[in-house]
């Protein structure tokens, strides 16, 4: 006689699954000790990390938005940045100056992680960032510009602005292409914001021109506008006045001051001392990769070591 499957099922005692659960619970209880030991180890690491970070979190609550400590970077035998320290207070315009080759741009690159430090620590907005990718730092709200403005020449000024508003996910072609397509959804709101920012940098009438047709100074203004589109917490400007005519320099300074009054924090590398003196609350001086001085613009202007470093050049 062939067994009916339903008959055989009905033969299974009802309490069988309960027995299985008990077995499973027993197995969990009997887990090998090494599995259990792993858990406290990772907790201890977490706790140590929290203790390590505690002073910096404290600093952050003391109004320090960015702090770099003991940063080092060598290129072959050349120590470009040598145990450098720098702090930027929330809401400030902080200057970074020094003779040619002092290591200012390298320090910018280390802070924004365009290059990795050999050692040292960077805390941004209360978090250590020296191990993050540069795009992750940008996503956290630290945006930088370059000595030679990096605009997308074959796109219009407006397209440059719209792309900058997207979450920074790296600069390769496909990421840019993906971003361009994602834009469709939120375009209206972004366009309104872009027009407002372009008006504030005096480029609204160039919105439909190719970015490549702009002058060097206008590209710098566009780069600053792009930085603002992502609504950052801190903007790092690398020589905003270099190669720019005096009228545009005044316009750039006005814009920086006006955005600062609205709450934006800036760290600025600049050789033009008039710009540094008129904009900055506090100035850090580097020479040969090392910290030489820090103080108000007036203090720095009258610091004999700083004058010597520049004259020595």
Ligand X SMILES: Nc1ncnc2c1ncn2[C@@H]1O[C@H](COP(=O)(O)OP(=O)(O)OP(=O)(O)O)[C@@H](O)[C@H]1O
Cβ neighbors of 157 (< 8 A, separation 6 or more) are 198, 203, 206, 207, 208, 209, 210, 211, 214, 222
Q: How far is the CB of 65 from ligand X (least distance, A)?
A: 22
Cβ 140 to ligand X shortest distance, Å: 23
Do residues 194 and 161 lie in contact, with contact meaning Cβ atoms separated by under 8 Å?
yes
Q: Does 102 bind ligand X (CB under 6 A)?
A: yes
Q: Is residue 105 near ligand X by the rule CB under 6 A?
A: yes
CB of 288 to ligand X, least distance (A): 9
Asked if 106 interacts with ligand X (CB under 6 A), we say yes
Selected binder of ligand X within 65, 66, 71, 80 (CB under 6 A): 80
Under 8 Å between Cβ of 69 and 215: no
User: Binding of ligand X at residue 98 (CB under 6 A)?
Assistant: yes
Helices 246-261 and 173-200 sit at what angle, rounded to 10 degrees?
Answer: 90
- Kindly state whether residue 75 participates in binding ligand X, applying the rule CB under 6 A: yes
Tell which one of 60, 67, 92, 104 touches ligand X (CB under 6 A): 104
Q: Specify the residue, 73 or 206, whose C-beta has the smaller distance to ligand X.
A: 73
Q: Nearest-CA neighbor of 131 among 114, 113, 154?
A: 113
Candidate list 91, 101, 126, 243; residue touching ligand X; CB under 6 A: 101
Q: How far is the CB of 236 from ligand X (least distance, A)?
A: 12
**Contact region with ligand X (CB under 6 A), list: 34-42, 74-82, 181-189, 204-212:** 74-82
- First and final C-alpha spacing in the chain: 105
Residue numbers at the binding site for ligand X (CB under 6 A): 75, 78, 80, 98, 100-106
């Amino acid at each position: 006689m062939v067994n009916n499957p339903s008959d055989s099922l009905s033969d299974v005692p009802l309490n069988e699954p309960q027995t299985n659960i008990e077995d499973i619970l027993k197995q969990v209880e009997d887990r090998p000790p090494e599995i259990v030991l792993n858990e406290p180890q990772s907790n201890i690491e977490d706790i140590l990390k929290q203790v390590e970070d505690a002073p910096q979190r404290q600093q952050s609550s003391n109004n320090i938005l960015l702090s770099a400590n003991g940063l080092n970077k060598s290129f072959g035998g050349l120590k470009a940045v040598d145990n450098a320290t720098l702090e930027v207070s929330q809401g400030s315009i902080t200057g970074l100056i020094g003779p040619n080759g002092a290591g200012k741009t390298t320090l910018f690159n280390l802070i924004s992680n365009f290059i990795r430090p050999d050692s040292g620590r960077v805390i941004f907005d209360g978090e250590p960032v020296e191990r993050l990718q540069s795009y992750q730092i940008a996503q956290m709200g630290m945006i930088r510009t370059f000595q030679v403005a990096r605009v997308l020449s074959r796109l219009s000024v407006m397209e440059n602005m719209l792309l900058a508003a997207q979450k920074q996910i790296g600069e390769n072609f496909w990421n840019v292409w993906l971003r361009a397509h994602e834009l469709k959804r939120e375009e209206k709101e972004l366009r309104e914001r872009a027009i407002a920012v372009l008006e504030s940098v005096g480029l609204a009438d160039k919105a439909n021109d190719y970015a490549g047709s702009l002058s060097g100074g206008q590209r710098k203004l566009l780069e600053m506008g792009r930085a603002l589109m992502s609504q950052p917490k801190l903007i790092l400007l690398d020589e905003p006045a270099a190669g720019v005519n005096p009228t545009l320099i005044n316009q750039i300074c006005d814009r920086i001051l006006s955005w600062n009054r609205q709450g934006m924090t800036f760290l600025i590398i600049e050789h033009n001392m008039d710009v540094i003196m008129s904009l900055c609350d506090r100035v850090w001086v580097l020479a040969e990769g090392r910290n030489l001085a820090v103080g108000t613009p007036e203090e720095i202007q009258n610091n004999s070591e700083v004058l010597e470093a520049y004259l020595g050049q």
